[in-house]
A and B are shown apart, each in its own frame.
Chain A
Amino acid sequence: MLSTIQPPRYLSRFPLRGRTKSRSFHILSSAQPVTKTCFAADQSQILSIRDSLLNRHLSAVELTHSYLDRLKQTEPHINCFLHVSDPDKVLKQAQDIDDKIKRNEEVGPLAGVLVAIKDNICTADMPSTGGSYILEGYRPPFDATAVKRLKDLGAIVVGKTNLDEFGMGSTTEASAFKVTANPWDLSRVPGGSSGGSAASVSARQCVVSLGSDTGGSVRQPASFCGVVGLKPTYGRVSRFGLMAYASSLDVIGCFGSSVADTGILLHAISGHDSLDATSSKREVPDFTSQFTYASSLKSRPLEGLRVGLIRETVDAGVDSGVKSAIEGAAAHLEQLGCVLKEVSLPSFSLGLPAYYILASSESSSNLSRYDGVRYGNQASSDELNGLYEESRAKGFGSEVKMRILMGTYALSAGYYDAYYKRAQQVRTIIRKSFKAALDENDILISPAAPSAAYKIGEKKNDPLAMYAGDIMTVNVNLAGLPALVLPCGFVEGGAVGLPVGLQIIGAAFDEFAKHKCLLNGFFERNL
């Protein structure tokens, strides 16, 4: 099984003509996993690639060609990438891997795996624009730590993906350069701000990708595009090289077509980094060792797992299709042995204004570095303030300008106590309420968004309507907790339906707790 979701059976298969989202994955489907690999690994592209390469069933060059061909075929329709690596360079890296394997030399655990990187994460040998004109053509002098770690393990970076400018947005429409389309329905948004990263995994242009999540920017696009999205605990992954939006909330997250793949990717990039003072010194467990063998599991493998469904997330305001997908998932969990109950978090709805106050305020400070002096596009002016004002006016898009202005207001003398400080206090309340709920339950579940993907242009002129869609995700950032979104069903819309994701929230640093792994793996299998 190559993908974690299948469209409802009554719908016909994709017609190839005009269908850009090809699920014909012939080369990889012929790869046989080694016996005794864990069931979750059956689903893992990364492990099956490794297996095929090491057993010489497939060469890295052949694999790379297949992905690059698909990228070329689908890209004009979905526009995921702001920059695609030079194919010759990419093939050369693949060739190097094949040569090493021929010589029986060690290759890294991610050898041959094609990765796409969101364009607000710095890559030294490629432009990194943050989706903004102000950094058009900018080439960072360093790799982000997460990128460096991936490259050290043999991954091949296939390109930089489209995003809402500097991470500010929920649709990828706020990119200065292009709008990415949802592979499930080209007239709809892929979500945001990591829309390009989610869509490229969804369309199989790459194996896995990196995104960033400040208020849901990995989880909501994962839900809209029908892929797995993981937001780690704040501090689990180094933020060095991630263009800062809101420093107390930003994290780098992973996309994959299976839970196992996101786990492997997370493990590759996690760990303390002396270049990021907020990165945790806690040891990183080997997430992959926590996946278990199918044969050793009983019929009710999740016996006793305490699952809390957050009541405020299935109240009024959530699409009925989404609600029934989530309720279906919850019922399935009970069948697998979970103890399901409803949990109420009364402060839940406070999280949204608190988040936007904190994020706007911190972004107004973080984006002051883009002044046209040391890097980026520079406007001309005969005096310094004019240089700043013109460079920023020309370089930033409307959404970014509005958030900077709102943040500037909220931090102004006399207003700090009314807004920023109060938002920080609300953060404390939310942290405590989540902690209390996670003391009583092993995991919490909710939808990842109140609806499935909406049409391009639908929310463009209504900021509050767009912000409202983040209600399911922002509290998790405020509390700094890890969360995983995995596809759990479909709603009506598009040609074959639109995917809906289930959000699973865990305790801090507990991204893939043993029982959660079981949960995820089994859940995927049985959907």
Chain B
Amino acid sequence: MGSRALLMLTNFNFKTTVSSFGSASNPFFLIKNNLRTRNFSTKTRSSLQPPDLPGLAETARISLAPNEVEEFAPKIGQVIDWFGQLQAVDLDNVEPAIRADTEGDNLREDAPQTFENKEALIASVPSYEEPYIKVPKVLNKE
């Protein structure tokens, strides 16, 4: 069932021009093929480096066990390859949309308001030593 749904992903007709496309040599072919071959290949659609999982984990402040790196790397690689199909679309002169609506400013007045339930806020803190939220020492990474 999933593989049939995947067929839909290949249905995109390249009505948009691909002439302005730069790096990869054979975009259409690559996209169709890539979705069927499930092997993680180092040849990505674009010229970008494949994800460096340990580096990303450090940036995201999540420690990954070695078996997790092994498990996630192919899956993440596969998904990022799949993301690469956007490289093939002609997006010249298209404005990026931050979000769907264009209602403009809906900011409220910049006036402070007191939050009443402070005890509940403090009660949620795992390590609290009045009046400090306690954390271990900060080491500078060189």
Interface of A toward B, CB cutoff 8 Å: 124, 138-142, 233-235, 247-249, 272, 274-275, 277-282, 312, 315-319, 346-350, 352-354, 356-357, 364, 368, 371-378, 381-390, 392-393, 396, 398, 401-402, 404-406, 408-410, 412, 414-415, 418-419, 421-429, 431, 450-451, 454, 458-459, 462-469, 471, 477-481, 508
Give CA–CA (A142, B80) in the complex, Å: 38
* Given the contacts A385-B61, A480-B101, A425 and B96 also touching, CB distance less than 8 Å: yes
* Given the contacts A138-B124, A478-B100, A425 and B94 also touching, CB distance less than 8 Å: yes
A465–B61 CB distance below 8 A: no
A389–B63 CB distance below 8 A: yes
Please name the 6 residue pairs, one residue from A and one from B, whose CB atoms are nearest each other, closest first.
Answer: A480-B100, A465-B2, A424-B96, A141-B120, A317-B8, A248-B99
Can you name 24 A-B residue pairings with CB atoms under 8 Å?
A: A234-B100, A272-B106, A275-B108, A312-B11, A315-B8, A316-B4, A346-B12, A349-B11, A350-B12, A353-B82, A353-B85, A354-B86, A368-B61, A373-B125, A389-B63, A392-B63, A393-B62, A401-B68, A402-B79, A412-B59, A450-B4, A465-B6, A471-B9, A477-B100
Check B25 for interface membership: any CB of A closer than 8 A. no
Would you give the 0/1 interface string for B53-64, flagging 1 where the beta carbon is closer than 8 Å to chain A? 100110111111
Give CA–CA (A120, B71) in the complex, Å: 27
Select the residue from A275, A280, A381, A418 with max chain B CB neighbours within 10 A: A418
* Given the contacts A317-B11, A372-B126, A423 and B136 also touching, CB distance less than 8 Å: no
Main secondary structure of the interface of B (DSSP, over half): loop
* Given the contacts A402-B72, A406-B79, A468-B2, A384 and B11 also touching, CB distance less than 8 Å: no
A450–B8 CB distance below 8 A: yes
B86–A426 CB distance below 8 A: yes
Query: Who on chain A is nearest to B10 by CB?
Result: A349
Give CA–CA (A130, B37) in the complex, Å: 35
With both chains docked as a complex, state the minimum distance between the C-beta of B90 and any C-beta of chain A, in angstroms: 10
Q: What class of interface size applies to chain B in its complex with A? A: 35 or more
With both chains docked as a complex, state the minimum distance between the C-beta of A353 and any C-beta of chain B, in angstroms: 5
A281–B103 CB distance below 8 A: yes
B117–A141 CB distance below 8 A: yes
Give CA–CA (A424, B136) in the complex, Å: 40
Complex contacts, A401 vs chain B, CB 8 Å: 62, 64, 68, 72
Would you give the 0/1 interface string for B8-21, flagging 1 where the beta carbon is closer than 8 Å to chain A? 11111101000000
With both chains docked as a complex, state the minimum distance between the C-beta of B92 and any C-beta of chain A, in angstroms: 9
Residues of chain B from 101 to 142 with CB closer than 8 A to chain A in the complex: 101, 103, 106-108, 115, 117-118, 120-121, 123-127, 133, 135-139, 141
With both chains docked as a complex, state the minimum distance between the C-beta of B125 and any C-beta of chain A, in angstroms: 6
With both chains docked as a complex, state the minimum distance between the C-beta of B50 and any C-beta of chain A, in angstroms: 9
B139 interface neighbour in A317, A384, A459, Cβ under 8 Å: A384
With both chains docked as a complex, state the minimum distance between the C-beta of B103 and any C-beta of chain A, in angstroms: 6
Complex contacts, B108 vs chain A, CB 8 Å: 274-275, 277
Give CA–CA (A399, B80) in the complex, Å: 15
A389 interface neighbour in B13, B62, B87, B125, Cβ under 8 Å: B62
Give CA–CA (A280, B103) in the complex, Å: 7
B107–A468 CB distance below 8 A: no
A463–B79 CB distance below 8 A: yes
Select the residue from B89, B97, B106 with max chain A CB neighbours within 10 A: B97
With both chains docked as a complex, state the minimum distance between the C-beta of A398 and any C-beta of chain B, in angstroms: 7
B8 interface neighbour in A233, A318, A454, Cβ under 8 Å: A318
A280–B76 CB distance below 8 A: no
